[in-house]
Structure 1
């Protein structure tokens, strides 16, 4: 066995050496060190003369060095030896680089003629033309092959080439026609279309795509077009219009119901609460599936709790209790039980009731993920009660039970947050350093934000005096004691004039509290102070976006919202609010109505 392994390794070594050499040559080429790359490509070509890719790279090096005669010599030798017509394209292009259009045309024509002799050559020849951005010639190649062999279908390739020529509407029509005729390839077409939809200035493309889809849906009553329109509206994050399409689909195909369920989940996750409520109510009206009913009722409760005021709490409590009685305390209603515990502890300020609810849940036969959910919520309530060490013990159990899992990473983040609230900033930083590279983007973002907050304010103030005050106020927010938190944040701004890095984030917190209280002018005042005085700070994009959202959705003043969204778009491309700002800016500009 060991002998076979040694033989295998010895056979593998030359392959690895070639791969390393090729990588080195490619690196030299990319850095513009063409002479160095050329030496390696020549060596590789001597060892593997049948591999024409090395010859092509040698030609590319000579062309970059403007040694066209040497490039021509290699190409002619390889054409003679391999009879590969794609190299004829390369030879023509070598003449084009020398502005000899007559000779270039001659070899391009020769390459095209070879397709008539053997239509299968089209694949390599057309691709060679495409790589040289010779789009018209690539189109000719596909047309010749299709004429010679009617079994060939190049609709997809031709459509993309039309797009490169700037014929956007023709490309869209061709791609959609191809998708309709080859429905197994719909994901491929949608992936291609989404690339154009997300380019820098996609408004014209999106308008054309929307128009073409609507025309097709009107001309052809096939459910296919409703499905494609729904996909389009989801890409635009216009879930209400997507829901309209999905309802039309459901009327004709009841089996599509779970697509509506998925859309509802997406609307909830994206914070599109009004549309989410519509979808959830539709689901409840049209399903007898108990687990789906429980999930939908839980989602609806969560939305209502988020929007509720204290005067609404008794009615919500009664509603939760009635639903728990209706569906029972089982693993299937666990999500509702967790929501009940959270509501009892954080909103009704009755931690004992929340803990009692969770202890009943722990008596159920749960899998390890369900058990982790219950323990996580239990830890959250212990933290609420300022039982920091006990909370950290529970979080640590989850972290150890589900290592290298998103739930385990969430527990790690909560350990760091607990240490931060407790004032143990050094330990929190150690946890956060690891979590910044978490595979979960949401956890990584939260970890990075907290890391920067602690790190920046430790560098500027080694005593961490301001940070300790800020963490205490932040903990009041966690406890849902907004008025106490507001007073502590305001006091921090008034008393701490030395720690510059705490000032902008404190204003951001105050603005958010006022925004949640519905005092929008006060929120805007604090956001504006960040925009005016801390434009170089890391919270500027949030101040711009939150201000835009207030003007747009709360004060119905789109003219003030539009330039704020625009600033996020053009000055903060890496912001997590970039996509949402782009969507709202396009709507306000009127792109979605054309």
Structure 2
């Protein structure tokens, strides 16, 4: 190939010189005819006139210099026509003339395989590999061509020969080969070997594994290998970092925490890596493990900068646990208020403790009916000049929520409007607009609510945009199908009762709506909200009925997969009925493919079935 390119370049140089000095150049008649024949053959190939092209290629193949130009097309036609004998004869001659050309040798091997002569194929490739055993460039080129043809075992021979006969590493290439081959276990081994000698390739390896281990089963191949490597290479931190990364990808936060403790001590990270893992656990609603992680930091890092942050996160995590455990335990709420008050008493009202004061005020207002005390505390925060504007805006939203709790929607709207105007293009400004739109919704002014929601549909925050779209659709879908707005007004009023924590009253109103507006398009929404109210009241058995009604009568509607998944979690987490839970999760995987709950439903089903699924 290289000789041909050089020859062509030399010819161009000579022709250019002849042109410059005025010496006439004349091609031989034979050369012109050969070029015409070659061009015609290539044209026949392009237009898929393969029989005509084949005749020309047969003739052209007699000229050794033209082999690089015709090889690919000529061989493709022969193989497509299953003319294996002709291909065999042609390639024998070409290989003899070019014994160290990877393409020709691999193609000859390929033909022998098509002729079902495996022994001859193996002998052919082995002979070539032996000839170029000390030339890693040719070995790599041969391997890449083999991979392109899915001749993976031959590619492996090339790389292993290169490893054996040189000081070069082939971990990248072998990992790539095994990825194409689907041998992910061996691919992981090569990446781990790479980290042993090049720990600085950690980020590259993590990205490669994330791109290539696409199924849960394949990704789980990593854990036992990493645990073994951590034990065998206690003097290296790279495998601790790898297993922390692995556990975080799997959302196994406690496992990540255990490994991060060892890293923290060795690298003297002063708790920051552990804090980050705790924060991730908290953000992913793994409050049980987040609480353990923050408690560890509070107990062990009192003299470090992470301590006040960990302490605040610990209380917030405990709060999340209390709020998600039904019915709400007021003694636990009082304990949280005391924890927040202790932080404020120790440190005063500062940027760091402002969040604690906000959280305390909201607990007092929403759970202890201490609205007036909460209002005083939030106003003190808002009027404190040392507090940043972001926190003041958030406190104003909280204050607005408490006024709405006190049935004073217009005072609430005034505060929301202030925040919206002060933060026009910011997320908190959009949150304020959404809260204002909800006030119009609660008070039955649906047109004004929708005009606000239409603007928020374009919000940059996906959460706010989705909430606006959902409420707008709820209003439009149920108003357009009804000649009056009575049902929608009643539904909005119950939504306000739920916001105010008046669950018994809201439940009674839903029951009445199911009678007064029987068969209304809001029925499935009412059943869904009724189930959630019953859960908040700790009445899990009763919550099953409305969810089952959704599946029975609204099985094709948007809430069906939500209802099915929630039924499974109630049976598993609260009623300890393994059989029923498994049935619902199994149905979810069959009837609701593509559901946002599919991954978790599969994981829960496997855990209930007894599969080895790490819950950490």
**TM-score category (smaller protein):** 0.7 to 0.9
Which position in structure 1 is the counterpart of 2:197? 181
Which position in structure 2 is the counterpart of 1:503? 523
Which position in structure 1 is the counterpart of 2:336? 316
Which position in structure 1 is the counterpart of 2:464? 443
1:380 & 1:263 partners in 2: Cα distance? 32
1:292 partnered with 2:309: yes
Unpaired runs of 5+ in structure 2?
A: 1-41, 96-102, 108-124
Task: Point out the more displaced range, 552-561 or 115-124.
Answer: 115-124
Counterpart pick for 1:548 among 538, 561, 568: 568
1:324 & 1:247 partners in 2: Cα distance? 30
| More helix as a share of residues | 1
1:388 partnered with 2:409: yes
1:303 partnered with 2:314: no
1:345 partnered with 2:365: yes
Paired residues of 2:243 and 2:259 also in contact (CA < 8 A): yes
1:89 deviates by 7.0
Distance 1:562 1:252, change over 3 A: farther
Which position in structure 1 is the counterpart of 2:99? none
2:52 & 2:210 partners in 1: Cα distance? 43
2:233 & 2:73 partners in 1: Cα distance? 45
Task: Point out the more displaced range, 531-540 or 112-121.
Answer: 112-121
Alignment of 1:513-528 (within 5 A): 513-528=533-548
Counterpart pick for 1:109 among 69, 81, 105: 105
Unpaired runs of 5+ in structure 1?
A: 1-58
Which position in structure 2 is the counterpart of 1:354? 374
The two structures have a TM-score, normalised by structure 1, of 0.76
Alignment of 1:116-155 (within 5 A): 130=147, 133=150, 135-136=152-153, 139=156, 150-151=167-168, 153-155=169-171
Which position in structure 2 is the counterpart of 1:169? 185
1:590 partnered with 2:607: no
Task: Point out the more displaced range, 87-96 or 370-379.
Answer: 87-96
1:473 deviates by 0.9
1:194 partnered with 2:214: no
Distance 1:248 1:496, change over 3 A: same
1:365-413 superposed Cα distances (whole Å, 9 cap, x missing partner): 2333223322222232233334334433433443444344333333333
Counterpart pick for 1:276 among 290, 293, 312: 290
2:51 & 2:347 partners in 1: Cα distance? 79
Which position in structure 1 is the counterpart of 2:226? 213
Aligned length: 525
Counterpart pick for 2:473 among 452, 455, 466: 452
1:435 & 1:121 partners in 2: Cα distance? 60
Paired residues of 1:283 and 1:296 also in contact (CA < 8 A): no
Distance 1:340 1:261, change over 3 A: same
1:505 & 1:544 partners in 2: Cα distance? 15
1:283 deviates by 1.4
Distance 1:64 1:480, change over 3 A: farther
Matched residue SS, 2:349:
coil
RMSD, matched Cα: 3.9
Matched residue SS, 2:186:
helix
